[in-house]
Chain A
Amino acid sequence: MSIIVRIPTPLQKLTKDQPEVKAVARNIKELITDLEKNFPGLKERLCDEKGRIRRFINIYVNEEDIRFLEQDETALKDGDEVSIIPAIAGG
C-alpha cells in the first residue's frame, strides 16, 4: 500500500539522491507528514511557516494540479503518482 512521489532535483539531497520515493497517506497533508518522517527537513522546504504549501511549488496527483482538486485535502489511494514540481516559466 503506497504512493509514488517524484522528488524535484533541489530536494533530492534530502531523499539520499532518490528521484522517486514511496509514501503512505490518505491525502496530500498526510503525504507531507509521512515524507517528513522518512526524510526529515522536507516539510519545511515544501511548506511555509504557516504550514501552507509554498506558492512556487506545484503538486500534481496523477498529472492533475491539486489546485483543481481539493488542494492539500486531495485524497490519495494506493498506486497514485504524486509529482512535486517547482513553477516554471512560460513560452
Chain B
Amino acid sequence: MSYVKGLKCRECGRTYPKEPLYVCEYCFGPLEVDYDYEKIKKVLTQKEILSRPKNLWRYRELLPIDGRPTDGLDSGFTPLIRARNLEKVLGVKELYIKDDSVNHPTLSFKDRVVAVALSKAKEFGFDTVACASTGNLANSVAAQAAVAGLKRYIFIPADLELGKVVATLIYNPILVAVEGNYDQVNRLCSEIATRYKWAFVNINIRPYYAEGSKTYGYEIAEQLGWHAPRHIIVPCAGGSLITKIWKGLKEFYKLGFINKPDTKIYAAQATGCAPIVTAIKENSEIIRPVRPKTIAKSLAIGNPADGVYAVGTVKESGGFAEDVSDDEIVEAIKLLAQTEGVFTETAGGVTLGVTKKLIEQGRIPKDESIVVCITGNGLKTQEAVTEKIGKPIKIKPNLASFEECVRPKGG
C-alpha cells in the first residue's frame, strides 16, 4: 500500500514519477516526496502507532516505501531522557536529550535514513548501494547493506577519525578514502553516480533517504506525550535533519496528533564550519560555502545542499543559530557525560555547547521545554577528547600502593 503520489520539486513545484531521481530537470531544485495525506489520515491514528513495535517503522505510512519495510527493523525509537542534572547546571526548568547515540545498529541518527534508503533501493531493484560520508553514514550503510546482502561502496575523506574507519571496515564494504574534504568527496561521487547504476543513498536516493530523519521529530513529539517542545536545538551539516524534524512536527499537526507546534528550531554548527549559522546571523539569503576546519568532522560540510532550507526552517519557526569553538565542543562533550552519563561524539558537543550559549544569551528562556538533539556516539571520535580527560592512576597490585597513590579521603 503506497501513500506516495510521486516526487515534487521544492523550488518550482514540477512533479516527477516515483523513480531514483533527485534533482529537478528544469531548475535543479531538490525533489521531495509528495504524500497523499488524506489517504494517510484515514489509516494512521495515534492508537495504531502505539500498538506497533518501538522502531521507526511505526510511522511507516509517513515514509516513502511502497511495500513492507525490509531494513533497519530495530532502528529508531531511541530514549528521550529528562536531563535533570543538566537542568541544574544550565539553570533551566525542563530539558531533554533525544539520544540517538544509542540508535541501532551503528549508534547514530543515520541508521534512520539508511533504513528507509535501503528499503527503497531494494524496491527499485538495485543490487549495489553507495554513499559519500563524513563517517556515520558510512558506518550505517556498510552495516545495513551487509545485513541486506547488497554490494556496498563507501566514499570518505581520507582524514576521517579512526573509530569511524574501523566501524565501517568491519562490515567489509569497498571503502574508498578520497584525498580531499567531504565536499570534494561529494563532488566526485556525484560524477561517479552518473556513470554507475548504483543506489547512492545521498544522491539518487536522497528524496527517499532524507525522509527517514522525520522519525527523529515524530519520536520527540510522541515521547513528550504527543506534544512538541518549545525549543529544539539541532546540529547542522548538510542541513537536512533540521528541515525534516520541522517537517515531521508539521505533519503530526496536519494529521491531528499534536497541537500547532509552537516550537523554535535552532541551528548548531562548529565555528570552523558554520555556513548555515553565518547566513542566519547575517540574515543572508545566500549560503557562502566555506573550507571546514573543525574537530566536528561529522558536521564538516562547507557547501550544505539543504542550507537554504535549514535557514528557512530556523526563520519560519522563530529560532536562531549559534556556533562553538573546538574547545567549547570538548567541554560540552564532557559536561553531557558527567551530568547525564551520555558519551556523545563531537557533533553532540556542538549541539550542547550551542544550547548552553543560547541559554546564556537569553535567546532560549529558562522556564520552557528544551530538546537537545544528540545524534552520534563518542566512542567513534575518541581522538577529540583523549588528551583532555586525564589519565588512569597507575598503581602496583598491593594495598600500600593504592593508599599511597590514590589517597581516598575519609577512608
Contacts and interface: CB of A to CB of B under 8 A. Distances in A.
A65 to B, nearest CB: 6
Given A65-B289, A67-B289, A91 B132 contact: yes
Interface in A39-73: 45, 54-58, 60, 63, 65, 67-68
A9 interface: yes
B306 interface: yes
A60 B187 contact: yes
Interface string B301-333: 101111010000000000000000000000000
B286 interface: yes
Contact of B308 (A8, A55, A58): A55
A79 B234 CA distance: 44
Nearest to A85: B190
B184 interface: yes
Contacts of A33: none
Given A56-B29, A89-B306, A6 B186 contact: no
A59 to B, nearest CB: 11
B246 interface: no
Interface string B135-158: 011100000000000000000000
Contact of A88 (B137, B202, B286): B202
Contacts of A13: 25
Contact of B237 (A6, A11, A90): A90
B203 interface: yes
B134 A91 contact: yes
Nearest to A90: B238
A86 B23 contact: yes
A89 B206 contact: yes
- With most chain B CB atoms within 10 A of its CB, the pick from A54, A86, A89 is A89
Interface string B119-131: 0000000000001
Given A56-B30, A67-B289, A89 B209 contact: yes
A1 interface: no
Given A10-B23, A60-B187, A90 B304 contact: yes
A70 B28 CA distance: 22
B350 interface: no
Interface in B175-224: 182-184, 186-187, 189-191, 194, 201-203, 206, 209-210
Contacts, number: 95
B133 interface: yes
B236 to A, nearest CB: 9
A6 B191 CA distance: 9
A89 B236 CA distance: 12
A88 B305 contact: yes
B102 to A, nearest CB: 20
A9 B206 contact: no
A56 B306 CA distance: 9
A7 B77 CA distance: 42
Given A56-B27, A63-B184, A89 B288 contact: no
A45 B36 CA distance: 30
A55 B237 CA distance: 18
Interface string A71-91: 000000000000101111111
What are the 3 tightest A-B residue pairs by CB atom distance, in nearest-first order? A90-B238, A91-B137, A87-B305
12 contacts: A8-B23, A8-B194, A55-B308, A56-B11, A58-B187, A67-B289, A68-B289, A83-B191, A88-B203, A89-B306, A90-B182, A90-B202
Given A54-B27, A63-B187, A90-B202, 18 more contacts: A8-B194, A13-B25, A45-B27, A56-B11, A56-B27, A56-B29, A57-B28, A58-B187, A60-B187, A88-B132, A88-B206, A89-B206, A90-B238, A90-B240, A90-B301, A91-B132, A91-B137, A91-B201
